[in-house]
Structure 1
Amino acid sequence: MNGQDGTFNAIWAGWYVYPDLAGDFRARLHVAWEDPNNPDCYDLFCAGFLQVSSKIAPGVRLLPVSTYNGPQYQMTILLYKDPKTKNWWLVFGNGMQPVGYWPDSLFSSLSGEASRLVWGGSIKTSPWLPSPPMGSGHFPSEGFGKAAYIYDIKIVDDHNTLRIPNSRFFTPHVNENVCYDVAGLTDGNDGVGFYYGGPGGCNL
């Protein structure tokens, strides 16, 4: 993300369970973005993200998925800015399959570089309903096999090279630590990792 107030731009990619949007409670690949003209765009519901893959699309169901205290599965996502076209690309999976891109013309402050990078989870709920679970629905203190995690975090530098950041530059942030948390921030040989999520149940 970059910018503020009327110039704020952001792109997101990951997975969601979003019944109001997808019509079910399945885990699905998800993209979103924000620019001054489109403050809340998801998947292919707004004009902007241009899909190039004939096999993978935003909104596709993800299989298999992890189970609590059972098999764990991961997905690989890369977001980067093409130095020639200036477009922001989404690449998915171990095979590094290009899914699509956001044209540079969509953005103002992201026409250069990102000034802030964020990893983790978020929730949306109606004001009259308790907040939903995040991640596996269990707190990060439960650890591997039980809590949701993000690991092997790398960044793309201004030379278009993958770099491993240092966890001391990460600032953990939780809005509702009664219902959600983040923990276990560590440096690894392949990147930074942490656990996140929680059962929800807060009245936001």
Structure 2
Amino acid sequence: MECTYSNEASSAQQYVAAESNGQLNFIQAGWMINMNLFGDARTWTFASWKGAKGAGCYNTQCKGFVQVAKDNPLSEPMEITDDSIIRFTIHQDKTSGNWWITQMFKDSSVSDMGYWPKELFNLIGDGAQMVGFSGMVSAPPNTPSPPMGNGNRPKYDDPYHSGFFNNLQIMGNDYSLDRADMFPLKRLVDSDQCYGLDYAGHDNPNVGVYSKYGGPRRKSMRCLGLHLIIRFPKFP
């Protein structure tokens, strides 16, 4: 999958967020192709945040994120293969209140990459209001929307034909992990004619709860993205 124009972008990410009275806090992490941001057309891992008074940025473009892992930066180019997978957790430390990002690797090892101090936020000091998994695209006006995922729409009988999110889990206040299908999920798509989003539920222990998403470049439609969102009942 590739972006053709320098001012278009395509990404997939997971996020934690809360909103109240027109204010929004979020932390998200995933992969992105964005020539304006990264300076080339490669696929990069990335994270971004928005906190109190609208502060926030991508990666380390502003003060906020504290890098801890010396050999695993928050953003770096990915080596893309047919089975490329990245796995992150975004979780809040109960003692400090800081929000950590951890990367999990295929060999089951983990890397605590760093954290966003709790003081950056005014709405997610005690957990998140919602968790989401999304694909997003952007393009200048009057230009085609770029491909999403690997450029293929989901196929019913082939979970790996398109882009996918798998092993979707929610971490509780006691650090316990629950399958995402234990919570009500809401599907949001700007148009089913743009890109596909198929929530498949739980498959097996290796794949877990998963969803397939994506599609090719849309030449005649203005498209934005798609989301699977979980809202937690303790919030209005």
1:19 and 2:19 aligned: no
CA RMSD for the aligned pairs? 1.9
1:102 counterpart = 2:116 = yes
State the structure with bigger RCO (CA 8 A, min sep 6), 1 or 2.
2
8 A Cα contact 1:7 1:108, kept in partner: no
- How far, CA to CA, are the matches of 1:165 and 1:91 in structure 2? 19
Work out the CA distance in 2 between the residues paired with 1:50 and 1:130.
37
1:61 to 77, 85, 93: 77
Match of 1:37 in 2: 53
Aligned residue in 2 for 1:93: 104
CA drift of 1:50 comes to 1.4
Q: 2:37 is paired with a residue of what secondary structure?
A: helix
Query: Which among 115, 127, 130 is matched to residue 129 of structure 2?
Result: 115
1:166 deviates by 1.6
Q: Unaligned regions of 5+ residues in structure 2, if any? A: 1-16, 224-236
> In 1, distance between residues paired with 2:59 and 2:91?
18
Whole-Å Cα distance in 2 between the matches of residues 40 and 87 of structure 1?
A: 15
Q: How does 1:65-76 map to 2 (within 5 A)?
A: 65-66=80-81, 71-76=82-87
TM-score, L = length of structure 1: 0.89
Unpaired segments of 5 or more residues in structure 1?
none
Alignment-mate amino acid for residue 136 of structure 2? S
Residue deviations 1:97-121, cap 9 Å, x none? 0111111000011111111110121
Larger mean Cα displacement after TM superposition, 138-147 or 149-158 = 138-147
Code of the aligned partner of 1:118:
G
Change (3 A) 1:175 1:39: farther
Which whole-Å deviations, capped at 9, do the CAs of 1:4-44 have from their partners, x for residues lacking one?
Answer: 34431011011111111011111111101112434661111
Residue number among 137, 148, 151 corresponding to 1:137 in the alignment = 151
Q: Share of identical aligned residues, percent?
A: 26
Moved over 6 A (4+): none
1:169 matched to 2:184? The reply is yes
- The separation in 1 between residues aligned to 2:59 and 2:117, in whole angstroms, is 15
Q: Does the C-alpha gap of structure 1 residues 144 and 195 become closer, same or farther in structure 2, counting only changes over 3 Å?
A: same
Which of 84, 101, 110 in structure 1 is aligned with 2:95?
84
CA displacement, residues 103-158 of structure 1 (integer Å, 9 cap, x when unaligned): 10000111111111101211122223221111011111273332001101111012
The residue matched to 1:21 in structure 2 has which SS?
A: helix
| Alpha-carbon offset, residue 84 of structure 1 | 0.6
Higher-strand-fraction structure: 2
Where 1:178 maps in the other structure, the secondary structure is coil
TM-score (ref. length: structure 2): 0.78
Cα deviation for residue 55 of structure 1 reads: 1.1
My pick for the range that moved more, 140-149 or 176-185, is: 140-149
